[in-house]
């Protein structure tokens, strides 16, 4: 690889290491959310979400960086392109990087599942509190049984 391609590959790989740590932090925060919904602890939930948002921003920036690296390397910005890049790495570092990539993908799937579960809890939470803050107003005609 020439120096420009080497730099792009290093940049791509660097985002993997950083994102593993971020996704581990995100998973912990997402795991902490579900009980907060079940406990109706809005204050703690708000604090949790304030911690999640910067992590999501950083993950988005890393994803953008990887996408730009792929484009500059004339590779498709998808799983196939990433696999082509990762398999082109030098033999001494390739196994470790592939292991990190697999770990990152596993963490992404775990966080997506946790987020889905929390979304379900959030929807249930909102359904329960909606009548408290927006009570239905019935008119006489709605109650008329004639």
In the chain, the percentage of residues whose pLDDT exceeds 90 is: 71
Mean pLDDT, rounded, of the chain = 89
Whose structure tokens read 């790989």? 13
Q: Per-domain residue ranges for the chain?
A: 3-132
Reported as a single tens digit per residue, the pLDDT across 10-63 is 999 999 999 999 999 999 999 999 898 878 788 999 999 999 999 999 999 999
Number of other residues whose CB lies within 10 A of the CB of residue 109: 11
Angle between helices 79-87 and 42-72 (to 10 degrees): 60
143 or 83: which carries more pLDDT confidence? 83
Angle between helices 79-87 and 94-133 (to 10 degrees): 150
Q: Tell me, what's the pLDDT at 144?
A: 44
137 or 22: which carries more pLDDT confidence? 22
Q: Tell me the average pLDDT across 108-118.
A: 95
Could you tell me how far CA 48 lies from the centroid of its own chain? 15
- Please identify, in words, the CATH class of the domain defined by 3-132: mainly alpha
Task: Give the whole-angstrom CA distance, residue 72 versus residue 19.
Answer: 21
Query: pLDDT category, 120, cuts 50, 70, 90?
Result: confident
Q: Which two tokens stand for residue 33?
A: 């959310």
Q: Tell me, what's the pLDDT at 1?
A: 56
* Poorest-pLDDT segment among 3-17, 26-40, 65-79, 99-113: 26-40
Q: Tell me, what's the pLDDT at 143?
A: 47
Q: Tell me, what's the pLDDT at 40?
A: 76
Task: Give the whole-angstrom CA distance, residue 112 versus residue 119.
Answer: 10
Could you tell me how far CA 21 lies from the centroid of its own chain? 12
pTM for the whole thing? Answer: 0.82
H-run or E-run covering 80: helix 79-87
């Amino acid at each position: 690889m020439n120096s420009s391609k080497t730099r792009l590959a290093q940049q791509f790989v660097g985002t993997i290491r950083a994102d593993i740590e971020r996704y581990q932090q995100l998973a912990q925060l997402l795991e902490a959310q579900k009980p907060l919904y079940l406990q109706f602890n809005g204050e703690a939930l708000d604090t949790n979400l304030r911690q999640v948002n910067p992590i999501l921003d950083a993950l988005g920036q890393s994803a953008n960086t990887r996408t730009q690296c792929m484009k500059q390397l004339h590779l498709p910005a998808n799983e196939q392109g990433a696999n082509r890049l990762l398999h082109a790495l030098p033999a001494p570092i390739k196994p470790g990087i592939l292991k990190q990539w697999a770990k990152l993908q596993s963490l992404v799937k775990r966080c997506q599942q946790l987020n889905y579960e929390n979304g379900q809890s959030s929807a249930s939470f909102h359904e329960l509190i909606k009548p408290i803050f927006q009570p239905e107003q019935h008119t006489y005609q709605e109650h008329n049984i004639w």
